[in-house]
Amino acid sequence: MPNMLQKNFSMIRTREELLNEISRNDQLRSIYHDWNEDQQNEFLDFCTGVKGVKILYDAFFKEVMDPAAVPERLNELLSLILNQKIRILNVLPNESPHIAEETSLVIMDIVVELENRSLANIEIQRQGYMFPGQRAACYSADLLLRQYKRIRSEKNKAGRKFSYRDIKKVYTIIFYDKSPMEFHQFPNDCIHRARHKTDTGLEINLLQEYAFVPLDICRKILHNKDINSKLEAWLVFLSSDDPEWIIRLSEKYPQFRTYYEEIYMLCLNMEKVMSMFSKELQELDRNTVQYMIDTMQDEIDKQRQIIVEREAALSQQKTALLEKEAALSEKDQEIKELKAKLAQLQ
């Protein structure tokens, strides 16, 4: 009997059809048997519609949200996140050094130039890094410097004088599949927007703006409510793989049905989707290792700080003891002198 998603998306195949295709192909069969039983079942479940697809899988996300092929989708999402109309003009090569160092937790990281020549860095993290504020500030500074260098170069080539008024805003937008612990102090907030401002209310354009979207918290917030806006629809699309929610979203906002159809058409290419799933499993393992390393390093740093503080306290105590011993020694000497004087008087 067809499940809920098979009834709504006719291209979704049955478990038997998938297993038959895998068994007939030596390469596919080898890949399939390299997975453990839980991984095999997870793959079959999302391909057959028993469970919904995880939109944040790298291949699925790129299929649906490629800004070079379908910029209007990312335009709409960014417009809703940033509360202003956004239109992507170009997709730029990512030159940030943090990409080479920290790709294991990153699903997507792209830099786009907007219609007004502002730049935006959009990143999706599987497992939120530690120190999210510090990292985002560094990403933003890197983006601002990149824009500054590019505009100076363009002005020089054109023989025109550089002006700081030519520098436009830079936006750093980070989505977290599993958000850092700081965000869980705000369990009722799906989006955190930030920009620099003065303590007096003086309006001065400091160029850097941020948006942080903890999708795991969005899942909890939206779980027991209806989808009441286009922004909520996008957050459900990105965060939920619940078949019931997929159907509800597709019925209320048909554009998302198109996106799911594209993904399920991708699932018909068994070689591609199995290769993609194997890559996802490897990335998840790397994520776990990287996160454990970060966590352990943080614990080591904390323990080192405690040791330093204790050593400082012990040093102070030792100094205090030495001072007390010196004082007692002085008093002993005074007593000896008084006893000698007393003996003379007697």
Q: Dump pLDDT digits (tens) for 259-297.
A: 999 999 999 999 888 888 887 777 665 655 555 656 666
Q: Pick the residue with more confidence: 229 or 295?
A: 229
Domains identified in the chain, total number:
2
CA distances from 309 to 239, 305, 338 (A): 43, 6, 43
Which domain, by its residues, includes 237?
52-268
pLDDT confidence bin for 343, thresholds 50/70/90: confident
Write down which residue in 242, 268, 294 finishes a domain. Answer: 268
209 and 278 housed in the same domain:
no
264 and 148 housed in the same domain:
yes
Question: What is the tens place of the pLDDT at every residue in 168-190?
Answer: 999 999 999 989 889 999 999 99
Query: What pLDDT score does 293 carry?
Result: 58
Q: 168 near 116, Cβ under 8 Å?
A: yes
Does some domain include residue 137? yes
State which amino acid sits at residue 315.
Answer: S
Question: What is the tens place of the pLDDT at every residue in 311-340?
Answer: 888 888 888 888 888 887 888 788 887 777
Query: What pLDDT score does 285 carry?
Result: 56
pLDDT confidence bin for 100, thresholds 50/70/90: very low
pTM of the model: 0.76
State the alpha helices, DSSP H only, in the chain.
4-8, 15-24, 26-34, 37-48, 58-65, 71-82, 97-102, 132-158, 215-222, 230-239, 243-252, 254-266, 270-345
Query: What pLDDT score does 105 carry?
Result: 44
Does some domain include residue 289? yes
Q: pLDDT at residue 102 above 60?
A: no
91 and 226 housed in the same domain:
yes
247 and 160 housed in the same domain:
yes
282 and 191 housed in the same domain:
no
Write down which residue in 232, 250, 268 finishes a domain. Answer: 268
Q: pLDDT at residue 13 above 90?
A: yes
